[in-house]
Structure 1
Amino acid sequence: MWIRRYSANYALKYTLRLIICSSIWLSSFPADAFETFIIKDIRLDGLRRISPGTVFNYLPVKVGDRLDQNKASKAIAALFKTGLFKDIRLEQEGNVLVVKLDERPAIANITFTGNKEIDTDSLIQSLKNIGFAEGRVFNRSLLEKVELELQRQYFNLGKYAVQIKSTVTPLNRNRMGIQLDISEGTVARIHAITFVGNRAFSDKILHDEMKLSTGGLFSFLTKDNQYSKQKLAADLEALRSYYLDRGYIQFNLDSTQVTISEDKKSVYITINLTEGNKYTVSEVKLEGNAIVPVTELKAKMTIKTGQVFSRKEVTASTEAILERIGDEGYAFANINPVPEINSKNQTVMLRFFIDPGKQVYVRRINFKGNTKTRDEVLRREMRQMENGWISTKNVKRSLTRLERLNYFEEVKVDTTVVPDTTDQVDLTYSVVERPSGNLMAGVGYSQTQGILFNASIMQENFLGSGKQVGATFNNSKVNTIYRFSYFNPYTTIDEVSRGFNLFYRTMDAEEANLSRYTTDVYGASLTYGLPISEFNYIKVGTDFDNTYLKPTASSANEIFDFIKANGDRYNSYRLTTSWARDTRNHPLFPERGLLQSFNAEVALPFSDLRYYKLGYQHHWLYPLTKNYTLLLKGQAAYGDGYGDNDELPFFENYTAGGPRTVRGFRENTLGPLDSKQRPFGGNLKVIGNAEVILPVPFTKNIRSFRVSSFVDVGNVYGVDEDFTVSELRYSAGLSAIWLSPLGVLSFSLAKPLNSKEGDQVQMFQFTIGTTF
């Protein structure tokens, strides 16, 4: 007996199909046309791809059930709801329930043509996210959604003239092939951005705050003239911040209209805004439980009474309060700044409501990702202690110390509340380890030293212990160096370090742009380091070296005179000491902090040559804005002889010029000349550098690539010369450093500003190093 048939047109949705078909069935058949029966067996007909188990899993009736009209309707509804079938029939053969199924076709393949702006893999992934993928059931209504999704993606790229045509081809085994032909069209360019309602700031100023523009010289790279809804939203927020940071607390963006020309090639943006009046801060109040003295908190706040209101300064002040209270263990404090506006006087009173919450202590500190580095190496860098009150400052300092190890590509810290507690947290420091050395061979190039070859067995983190062990060979037309080194940063638990070096080095000074002579030097050194505070460090050490000085036939008279007076072999026993203060946030590419150091070395009286050298240097970084950092560098060094030696040995002279001192002048060429008119170096060096670190387009990782504009100044002075400002050399230009996967690449383009006759100018300078 035929019991029931349930079918639906592709274009109808499931709910509508179920209601209509059920109503028709119930009204079309008399009650005596259907007989209730006990199911003794169930047979499935029509399955091709779908497994019987899938059908039985969704079928709400089973063997032994009594089947009536109500259960039959529910069975059909349940199967149809899966979306796997386009036609379902229930038939009775004796006490056997026969379920006849007509499967929907499956998507065999999806192909694209004409897509250039978006790659095929990205398109396939985006369609997969909405349920349209190879192997899935084909649904024609979903194909329309696919076309809309593709259109949306191209609209986001500014291609409003895009046309998408879909072709469905039936294949064997109940499958469908889908082809999507895309005509991308041209990108719609922003033709005009218009502001309505601005009085305090000109259109040009507001345009400068936006990333979207009508185009410029580099728009083919930045694509800033291509409209994007997301970019416009970001620009509107930038405009809001610009006004709110300059006192316009009642600023409002009234509306934004975006229109497209008929040919869909031009976009017009109109921004309607209300500026309001400019407000100043009449008073700043701190209310609630401040934990620490209010005067101390106010001293840390950047928003002050009498200043123009600034949302940025309010945020910075809030963060300063949070950080200070966090140092007392209140890690989850809540600071709520509430402005009270006086429209009559155009002033605003700021109330900072402080809710410190509960004092929190650290239960456990965990480390994650250090597969090679031992936990103890990371734990000894911790300034936040377990079982102690949490300190925001100590948590951040611990993070910085891990970064400064230079063992890791990335370091992050997560704070999680201990379950079932309100005053305990766990800290997890997650690291991504960088390669720590092993066997390397390398080649590089510099304008001074030419092609560089090196080979080394170097472990900066030997067996994960934090110790540095290495054997190195370097060779260039200037130097040949063999070195074995060892350094243990934690000889004791108090961070006393110890290191030693054994080396042999030959140098051809003429190849380094200096006077004509060569040296062979072998020696050893032993150094101890001792921290005297969190940021201050001293080192003391002893050095020994044996120098063999060899002139050439064309060496200068100064060299022959020196050998006549002192011989050509010299043993030197030196004491060295240094002090350094380093508050920088990163050892490679820091964004803030100070490094200053003083060093001294003296050749002991029983050395063949008696002399001393003193040096001072500093690096100071100050963030000017979010994207610009000021870097000021300076160094001064002086050396002289004592006892029987009335001057510094010439091969210990200081030099200047080149990428590390005054760019734009050939390396080592500034300062006094010898009798052959070749650079000779001097015993006094003065160098100053001022740089503005610039934002780098198209890169987020500022710790691997850095661009800056700079001004350099400096020179070297001889024994018989007094320091004179008029002899300083100046240059200005641009520089770039890239820590590439293949090595360090540095470039500078500098123009000397006051070169004099005899100076060796070199505007473009670079060094390239690679390892393989």
Structure 2
Amino acid sequence: MPFFLRIFITLLLSAGVLFPQLAAAFVVQDIRVEGLQRISAGTVFNYLPVKTGDEVNKGNTAKIIRALHKTGFFQEIRLEREGDVLIVFVHERPAIAEINITGNKDLDTDRLMAGLKDVGLAEGRVFKRALLEQVEQELNRQYFARGKYGVKIESKVTPLERNRVGIDIEISEGLTARIKNINIIGNSAYEDDALLDEFELGVPAWYAIFSSRDKYSKQALAGDLETLRSFYLDRGYIDFKIESTQVSITPDKKDIYITIALDEGDVFTLSDIKLAGDLELPEEELFPLIHLRRGGVFSRKRVTASAERLNKKYSDAGYAFANVNSIPDIDRENRKVAITYFVDPGKRVYVRYINISGNSTTRDEVLRREMRQMESAWFSGEKTRLSRERLQRLGFFNDVNMETPAVPGTTDLVDVNLSVTEAASGSLSAGVGYSETQGVLFNASISQNNFLGTGNRVSAGFDTSDATKKISILYTDPYYTIDGISQGYELSYRETDFSELNISSYSTDVGRLGVNFGVPVSEYDRLRFSLAYENTKFFIADSASDEIKEFEEKYGKKFSDFELVGSWIRDSRDRAIFPNKGGRQVFTTELNTPGSDLQYYRISYRNAQYFPLTNNLTLKLNGELGYGDGYGNNEELPFYRNFYAGGIGSVRGFEENTLGPKDSEDDALGANARIVGQIELLFPIFGDDFKDTVRAGLFADVGNVFDLANDEEIKWDGFRASTGLMLSWFSPVGALSFSLGYPLKEEEGDKTKSLQFRIGSGF
């Protein structure tokens, strides 16, 4: 029965037309409800606008019917009278027993179910046909927005026992409509191709086989139109407007044609730039932050960016609630714009307290010594941001949050509320693995990066493989002094068989005892100094090359050396693992001091820079230089301290450590100079859930090692180059790196290897 017909009949019933016994007024002595199955009588009485003792007449029966209909629980309602008893006959709407959705690929089932529940269509709820029709319309709208105009949605309602129904929603999504052409009308200053290059949507190039650029989406088109508007506004076209946008689809709903009509307007230039309001800060400090030029072309992007820099300047000066607005004065007759930056600094704000929470293990002083925002000092947005960044770099916390609420009852005080979520800073581990150059790996270690909550780092462990056996004990106090000077100690013993590393046939046993200090120079710069005693025992195999035998004859097999190392480190990365911006530079000088059995030095420099191209695309540029030589009684750099190239970390696609000069046995000998350059285009894979643990990329490497001690010249012919794919995974067992490389430039005799991996490489 149609809905409106049921309402009409209900009104007739309430008026007493069909049930004249209700036409006469009477005082209700009792109320009885008939026809209930799941709904309790108490629920009905709660909604009834009449109770015992009230009078019922033909004037208020309609009110009773409407009140019960509004609950949505009943399909039909009928009122009757039996003496002075009011009888309410109801027919309940069925309950939803189950909902099944099939055929959906673009829309997640769990999200669809949550959306249905929000509108009242869920298991256990009362079934309403109107709600199901609304859901169908909304699903069609969402698929249309994704360009799937051929979607078909069929709903089937199956009656079940006990007045229940089952709902089956079958979705046939069809294919996404493809864009065949985007036509722009009204542009004269810029060609169509220049404008379409700014669009996310478009017709892919013939070679872009897997491109999805031509998949139409209403949201993507809206974004492209805003990009087009910004493109013109950033080039001085203040009066630019989009006259109309027409989207037409072919009858088979497969091809889409888009026409955009626009009016470019005229180019406006800047006639004047002014500051107004209560400046508080000197104009000579503010104007350099405004990157605009009188007589230059107006740019909305530059105007907005300048206002943001002014806001930041005031925030750093203590005006936490400052507001800087750019106000344009447009002279359309002369096509000029005067920009006035109106400054409302508000009151200068001080920090009352820094409140710390969440650190159940880490001592307050460990957090406070990283804070650059101080109590009782002016509030600074930059110092607050820097404080959070420094805390994140500690590695002690999974999450660091800062809030700066105003102090109630004041206008010039804020608190800094710092809350942290502590990470597991200690680990006890044992593992087994495999490396292509070192064979089977065994390791065990115990480490505590936040020993007893003091921030000190303590670790002890051993590693063993076919190539190396190492045991070490390390201790570092990052705040040996209150100024942030660190102090550390190391004790280690290492046995290395270089023949297992694609290097000449020899091995070394090295015992080392050292102390180191770190001195902060700035927020991003640090100097590090270390002094260590090394005792080296040198062993050669029967198949050792002539070069190694000559070294043994000349210098012997045992060496006692004192190593002095100085490093400058600049780290401006936004994070230690998978950074997206900033960089890390390291310049290191190593010197075996006079009095050592072997006197030599090594100088190295590494610079890795990260540039965010988009939210999910990062460009990494990495360059490495190294040089070493002997001095005093040593004519050359000891060959076991040579630089090597090839493999992950240098030139991928070539076997690890195999590039450069060879000895008389045709094994890699390394050299005293190294040059490596790498370009990587990095992006996350497997979605947002894994972006902090897995990252892939495309790479191009170039480099080699050169024997400058024997007058070898650095020429382009001596370099090797490769390209390929890479994958980094911060796994539960440690950092893993994989590469699939293809040599672009190789010479006869080079050892190549496409698939390579390493455990414990950097990011």
The TM-score with structure 1 as length reference comes to 0.88
Alignment-derived partner of residue 506 in structure 1:
495
Q: CA RMSD in A?
A: 3.5
Q: CA deviation at 1:91?
A: 4.4
Using the alignment, how far apart are the partners of 1:53 and 1:344 within structure 2? Answer: 75
Gaps spanning 5+ residues in structure 1: where? 1-8
Q: CA deviation at 1:769?
A: 6.4
Contact 1:729 1:753 in 2 (8 A): no
Q: CA deviation at 1:431?
A: 4.9
Alignment-derived partner of residue 26 in structure 2:
36
Q: 1:48 aligns with which of 37, 44, 48?
A: 37
Using the alignment, how far apart are the partners of 1:25 and 1:761 within structure 2? Answer: 95
SS of residue in 2 equivalent to 1:471: strand
Say if 1:459 and 1:63 are closer, same or farther in 2 by CA, change over 3 A.
Answer: farther
Q: 2:589 aligns with which of 577, 582, 600?
A: 600
Q: 1:402 aligns with which of 391, 396, 403?
A: 391
Say if 1:600 and 1:370 are closer, same or farther in 2 by CA, change over 3 A.
Answer: same
Question: Is 1:612 aligned to residue 604 of structure 2?
Answer: no
Using the alignment, how far apart are the partners of 2:297 and 2:618 within structure 1? Answer: 24
Alignment-derived partner of residue 339 in structure 1:
328
Question: Is 1:136 aligned to residue 125 of structure 2?
Answer: yes
Alignment-derived partner of residue 190 in structure 2:
201
The one-character-per-residue Cα deviations of 1:551-601 (angstroms, maximum 9, x if unpaired) are: 001112232233233332223333333332333333334444454343333
Say if 1:346 and 1:662 are closer, same or farther in 2 by CA, change over 3 A.
Answer: farther
Task: Return the letter of the residue paired with 1:744.
Answer: A
Task: Return the letter of the residue paired with 1:746.
Answer: S
Q: CA deviation at 1:110?
A: 1.7
Task: Return the letter of the residue paired with 1:296.
Answer: E
Question: Is 1:559 aligned to residue 551 of structure 2?
Answer: no
Using the alignment, how far apart are the partners of 1:552 and 1:533 within structure 2? Answer: 49
Say if 1:259 and 1:442 are closer, same or farther in 2 by CA, change over 3 A.
Answer: farther
Contact 1:444 1:769 in 2 (8 A): no
Using the alignment, how far apart are the partners of 1:769 and 1:581 within structure 2? Answer: 22
Using the alignment, how far apart are the partners of 1:186 and 1:74 within structure 2? Answer: 51
Question: Is 1:746 aligned to residue 737 of structure 2?
Answer: yes
Using the alignment, how far apart are the partners of 1:218 and 1:469 within structure 2? Answer: 55
Question: Is 1:391 aligned to residue 383 of structure 2?
Answer: no
Alignment-derived partner of residue 4 in structure 1:
none
Equivalences for 1:718-729 in 2 at 5 Å? 718-721=708-711, 724-725=714-715, 729=719
Alignment-derived partner of residue 139 in structure 2:
150
Q: 1:656 aligns with which of 641, 645, 651?
A: 645
Alignment-derived partner of residue 252 in structure 2:
263
Task: Return the letter of the residue paired with 1:687.
Answer: I
Q: CA deviation at 1:197?
A: 1.4
Q: CA deviation at 1:226?
A: 1.9
Alignment-derived partner of residue 77 in structure 1:
66
Using the alignment, how far apart are the partners of 2:186 and 2:558 within structure 1? Answer: 82
Aligned length: 758
Question: Is 1:585 aligned to residue 574 of structure 2?
Answer: yes
Equivalences for 1:422-571 in 2 at 5 Å? 422-429=411-418, 431=420, 434-436=423-425, 438-444=427-433, 446-462=435-451, 464-571=453-560
Say if 1:20 and 1:76 are closer, same or farther in 2 by CA, change over 3 A.
Answer: closer
Contact 2:706 2:712 in 1 (8 A): no
Question: Is 1:21 aligned to residue 11 of structure 2?
Answer: yes
Using the alignment, how far apart are the partners of 2:613 and 2:141 within structure 1? Answer: 39
More displaced, 746-755 or 395-404?
A: 746-755
Q: CA deviation at 1:529?
A: 2.0
SS of residue in 1 equivalent to 2:132: helix
Task: Return the letter of the residue paired with 2:508.
Answer: T
Q: 1:715 aligns with which of 705, 718, 724?
A: 705
Alignment-derived partner of residue 3 in structure 1:
none
SS of residue in 1 equivalent to 2:636: coil
Q: CA deviation at 1:144?
A: 1.4
SS of residue in 1 equivalent to 2:184: strand
Equivalences for 1:90-101 in 2 at 5 Å? 90-93=79-82, 96-101=85-90
Q: CA deviation at 1:610?
A: 3.4
SS of residue in 1 equivalent to 2:147: coil
SS of residue in 2 equivalent to 1:322: helix
Using the alignment, how far apart are the partners of 2:374 and 2:9 within structure 1? Answer: 67
More displaced, 148-157 or 409-418?
A: 409-418
Contact 1:212 1:224 in 2 (8 A): yes
Using the alignment, how far apart are the partners of 2:136 and 2:480 within structure 1? Answer: 67
Say if 1:315 and 1:750 are closer, same or farther in 2 by CA, change over 3 A.
Answer: farther
Using the alignment, how far apart are the partners of 1:689 and 1:339 within structure 2? Answer: 48
Contact 1:503 1:523 in 2 (8 A): yes
Say if 1:20 and 1:170 are closer, same or farther in 2 by CA, change over 3 A.
Answer: closer
SS of residue in 1 equivalent to 2:414: strand
The one-character-per-residue Cα deviations of 1:136-192 (angstroms, maximum 9, x if unpaired) are: 111122221122122223223322122222222222111112222333333222222
Alignment-derived partner of residue 283 in structure 1:
272
Q: CA deviation at 1:38?
A: 5.4
Contact 1:486 1:500 in 2 (8 A): yes
Alignment-derived partner of residue 6 in structure 1:
none
Q: 2:112 aligns with which of 115, 123, 127?
A: 123
SS of residue in 2 equivalent to 1:209: coil
Q: 1:691 aligns with which of 679, 683, 688?
A: 679
SS of residue in 2 equivalent to 1:719: helix
Task: Return the letter of the residue paired with 1:739.
Answer: W
Equivalences for 1:292-441 in 2 at 5 Å? 292-367=281-356, 373-429=362-418, 431=420, 434-436=423-425, 438-441=427-430
Q: CA deviation at 1:720?
A: 3.2
Alignment-derived partner of residue 238 in structure 2:
249
Task: Return the letter of the residue paired with 2:645.
Answer: A
Task: Return the letter of the residue paired with 1:160.
Answer: Y
Using the alignment, how far apart are the partners of 2:161 and 2:618 within structure 1? Answer: 65
Using the alignment, how far apart are the partners of 1:184 and 1:329 within structure 2? Answer: 56
Say if 1:145 and 1:648 are closer, same or farther in 2 by CA, change over 3 A.
Answer: same
Contact 2:21 2:80 in 1 (8 A): no
More displaced, 422-431 or 568-577?
A: 422-431
Contact 2:27 2:53 in 1 (8 A): no
More displaced, 625-634 or 555-564?
A: 625-634
SS of residue in 2 equivalent to 1:417: coil
Q: CA deviation at 1:394?
A: 0.3
Using the alignment, how far apart are the partners of 1:714 and 1:458 within structure 2? Answer: 36
Contact 2:152 2:172 in 1 (8 A): yes
Using the alignment, how far apart are the partners of 1:30 and 1:78 within structure 2? Answer: 21
Contact 2:566 2:588 in 1 (8 A): yes
SS of residue in 1 equivalent to 2:405: strand
Question: Is 1:767 aligned to residue 755 of structure 2?
Answer: no
Q: CA deviation at 1:391?
A: 0.5
SS of residue in 1 equivalent to 2:306: helix
Using the alignment, how far apart are the partners of 1:81 and 1:561 within structure 2? Answer: 101
Task: Return the letter of the residue paired with 2:447.
Answer: M
Contact 1:691 1:710 in 2 (8 A): yes
Gaps spanning 5+ residues in structure 2: where? none
Contact 2:268 2:297 in 1 (8 A): yes
Task: Return the letter of the residue paired with 1:731.
Answer: A
Task: Return the letter of the residue paired with 2:601.
Answer: Y
Using the alignment, how far apart are the partners of 2:618 and 2:127 within structure 1? Answer: 56
Say if 1:614 and 1:186 are closer, same or farther in 2 by CA, change over 3 A.
Answer: closer
More displaced, 590-599 or 324-333?
A: 590-599
Using the alignment, how far apart are the partners of 2:390 and 2:2 within structure 1? Answer: 64
Task: Return the letter of the residue paired with 1:486.
Answer: Y
Contact 1:381 1:402 in 2 (8 A): yes
Say if 1:756 and 1:89 are closer, same or farther in 2 by CA, change over 3 A.
Answer: closer
Using the alignment, how far apart are the partners of 2:698 and 2:105 within structure 1? Answer: 35
SS of residue in 1 equivalent to 2:342: strand
SS of residue in 1 equivalent to 2:709: coil
Contact 1:630 1:690 in 2 (8 A): no
Q: CA deviation at 1:653?
A: 2.2
Using the alignment, how far apart are the partners of 2:50 and 2:209 within structure 1? Answer: 64
